[in-house]
Amino acid sequence: MFRRKFIKNAAIATGGLLLQNNFLKAADLQYEGKKINIGIIGCGDRGTGLMHVLNELTDLYQIAGICDVLDFRIANAKKLAPNAVVYKDYHKMLDQKNIDAVIIAVPLSMHFALGKDALLAGKHVYLEKTMTYNIPQAIELVKLAASKPHQILQIGHQYRYTPLYFKVKEMCRSGYLGKVTQIDCRWDRNGNWRRPVPDPSLERQINWRMYREYSGGLPAELLSHQIDFINWVFDTHATKIFATGGIDFFKDGRETYDNVQAVLRYEKDGMVGNFGATCANSHDGYLFKIKGSKGTISLLVNEGVYYPEKETLKEYHQTVDGVTGATKITWNKDGGIPILTEPVKDGSWYALSDFHKCIETMQPPTSNVYTGARTAFTVHMINKSLFGNTIENWQPEYNVG
């Protein structure tokens, strides 16, 4: 009883921005402290990756079903969940009453259809990023999710769930960086980004990332994480986008670009974001820098370093002669301060833990259908610009949530 009241009060305090009131109208906290039976739709690299994480969260979840159209993938997934029921057709899984929630980790072009079917079947849904293949699908999914206030729809932008990324958000918000004007992101690798294909007839199913019919390419698969993070930290979205790229190295019949660069203008925030990825150089690897008038934050997946600007540093040093503290600030040799010195778990661990909490408490996820839509809009705008040689502008109908 106390808990319900608390949630209600919290909802009032945070306002009606995120459908909170709808969620609570008939909030049925049936999952409080209970394990959730979860079904996995799509048992490729990502699906099985998430199954590994679920196996670390056995007090929260039980993998009740696994579904894939490819037999070798099922065989692989079965090793991780020997007791799960196997489905070849996801509709059959969705028909099962004992499945409370599903993880959807399928090619991007299928995200919308499966997400929609799962919501209509009454399931809670963890839908991998990017939320949808295109803008119209994102708009439709937002509408559908709004009509299902008692179901959780979380989008798999897992990085923002780690303590490190939360901390970075807090730092940006509390002025450590001063006024941020530039964001530099890269996600580079030196490799063809292909998966091995046991039988040539399966090429398009396995290497769906290579084909425009199924995939949004590097912007959707990689850069969307950083795009989503910037949207979340600054509560914003890019208003103008120009992108360029090509199939510049792996001329192997692929259709999606292996080399892309997008420039994103955030007009109201006075920021420019440079988002790039190549498959033909791995020197920078994952690079994520947020640059402000007082300092820079440089992020890796699990590490972050804060570099104060020279003037900021002066203020710091002049305050006192020495500092005592339980774990003192350690300056790197290059003049930076590590943001979190403790090891963190994989982002998916935090994201899936939170998914359970959201289902338990009927509170909307941090990475929800609205933030997911904003990122999906941006990714599609990048792809429109990439393939159409246009400058894409944010449209009023994209203002959801």
Partner 1 sequence: MTAFLSAFKFSPLLLILWWCQSGAGQSQPREWKLNGYAQGTTYSIIYFKDKEVVKGAQIDSLLDNIDQSMSLYKGGSLINKFNGAVSGVQMDQHFRKVIKKSLEVYKASGGLFDITVEPLVQAWGFGAHKVDSLPTSSEIRGIMKFVGSDKIYLRGNYLYKRDKRVKIDLNGIAQGYSVDVLADFLESRGIGNYMVELGGEIRVKGHKLPGMQKFALGIQAPGNGFNEDLMQKVIELDSGGLTTSGNYRKFYMSKHSRVSHLINPKTGYSLQNEMISATVWARNAITADGYDNVFMAMGVKKSLAFVKHHSGMEIYLIYQKADGSVADTASAGFYKFVKKN
Picking from 157, 170, 161, 223, the residue whose alpha carbon sits closest to that of residue 339 is 170
CB 185 within 8 A of CB 287: yes
Q: What minimum distance in Å lies between the beta carbon of 324 and partner 1?
A: 5
Q: How far apart are the first and last CA of the chain?
A: 30
- Specify the residue, 72 or 316, whose C-beta has the smaller distance to partner 1: 316
Q: What minimum distance in Å lies between the beta carbon of 167 and partner 1?
A: 7
- Specify the residue, 171 or 241, whose C-beta has the smaller distance to partner 1: 171
Q: What are phi and psi of 360, to 5 degrees?
A: -60, -45
- Specify the residue, 17 or 326, whose C-beta has the smaller distance to partner 1: 326
Binding site for partner 1 (CB under 8 A): 59, 167, 170-171, 176, 306, 315-316, 319-331, 333, 337, 339, 341-342
Contacts of 172 (CB under 8 A, 6+ apart): 180, 233, 234, 290, 292, 297
Q: What minimum distance in Å lies between the beta carbon of 294 and partner 1?
A: 10
Q: What minimum distance in Å lies between the beta carbon of 171 and partner 1?
A: 7
CA 383/CA 244 separation, integer angstroms = 9
- Specify the residue, 239 or 302, whose C-beta has the smaller distance to partner 1: 302
Q: What minimum distance in Å lies between the beta carbon of 9 and partner 1?
A: 15
Q: What minimum distance in Å lies between the beta carbon of 152 and partner 1?
A: 21
Q: What minimum distance in Å lies between the beta carbon of 8 and partner 1?
A: 20
Q: What minimum distance in Å lies between the beta carbon of 235 and partner 1?
A: 20
Contacts of 8 (CB under 8 A, 6+ apart): 24
- Specify the residue, 87 or 176, whose C-beta has the smaller distance to partner 1: 176
| Amino acid in the structure at residue 281 | N
Residues 124-144: b if buried by 16+ CB within 10 A, e if exposed = bbbbbbbbbbbbebbbebbeb
- Specify the residue, 23 or 306, whose C-beta has the smaller distance to partner 1: 306
Q: What are phi and psi of 187, to 5 degrees?
A: -140, 85
- Specify the residue, 216 or 308, whose C-beta has the smaller distance to partner 1: 308
Contacts of 158 (CB under 8 A, 6+ apart): 346, 347, 348, 350, 351, 367
Torsion (CA) 207, 211, 212, 214 in degrees, nearest 10:
-40
- Specify the residue, 305 or 376, whose C-beta has the smaller distance to partner 1: 305
DSSP for 223-290 reads IHHHHHHHHHHHT---SEEEEEEE--S--SS--S-SEEEEEEEETTTTEEEEEEEESB--SS-EEEEE
CB 271 within 8 A of CB 287: no
- Specify the residue, 29 or 313, whose C-beta has the smaller distance to partner 1: 313
CA 236/CA 238 separation, integer angstroms = 7
Distances (CA, A) of 59 to 50, 124, 173: 15, 18, 34
Q: What minimum distance in Å lies between the beta carbon of 308 and partner 1?
A: 8
Token couple for 263: 């420039």
